Amino acid sequence: MFHQADLFDHIKHAPQAAPRPVALPDLVERVSQVSKRPRYVLLILNLIAKAAGENGSLGPYVQSEADHVPVRDWLCQALAPLANRDCRRAAMIAAVRSELMAKATSENAGDMAQQQAEEIEARILRSGRTNVSRAVSDLVRAGLLQRHYQGYRVDHPNRGAQREAVYTIALDVRRALTGSY
């Protein structure tokens, strides 16, 4: 019987170098290359790293003071105080007040303050969720985070069908953020 010798047995492969540990300056550089808002993105990355479980995953829900909230809402609520002095936040609050005053009648004047607070909170949450999603997309693009969706039917890479986001941070990135690199 004919035997074909392996032609590549005699070639010695160079040993694979261990991946260089990621340091905090490396993270900053990678984020600044892909994001227009690197400080905000790094804050999100740090919050995810601090709250992630042993496997590096955070989500789909996070325990807050009252109950379980979706991870994007939790991140949004954690970062909402950053914009308290922003002129756009003040303009949004003024717009909500003027809209509700225009719709106000003498019958619902007592509930006006609560309606204003609820509408302001809803708008802050809506814009904050968008900002968090953009920041997480930057982190995924930088290769520092993985995102998938989990929920009612099945785990899935795409959103929809009552699925919520789950963020998984790489081990070397977690080490860099905790200073144990």
Structure tokens at 166: 């789950």
Residue type present at position 106: S
Asked whether 46 and 31 are in contact (CB, 8 A), the reply is no
The pLDDT value recorded for residue 85 is 74
Burial readout 132-162 (b: 16 or more C-beta within 10 A, e: otherwise): bbbbbebbeebebbebbbbbeeeeeeeeeee
The pLDDT value recorded for residue 57 is 93
pLDDT in tens, 73-103: 999 989 888 877 777 777 888 888 888 778 7
The pLDDT value recorded for residue 150 is 82
Structure tokens at 142: 């930088």
Band (106; pLDDT cuts 50, 70, 90)? low
Nearest CA-CA partner of 71 in 48, 50, 49? 48
Which single residue is written with the structure tokens 């890479």?
A: 157
Structure tokens at 17: 């170098």
The pTM of this model reads: 0.74
- Asked if the model's pLDDT at residue 5 lies above 70, the reply is no
CA distances from 180 to 24, 68, 73, 174, 177 (A): 10, 30, 29, 9, 8
Q: How far apart are CA 71 and CA 66, in angstroms?
A: 14
pLDDT in tens, 116-165: 888 888 888 888 888 999 999 999 999 999 998 887 655 555 555 567 88
Q: How far apart are CA 121 and CA 172, in angstroms?
A: 36
Nearest CA-CA partner of 129 in 177, 89, 175, 80? 80
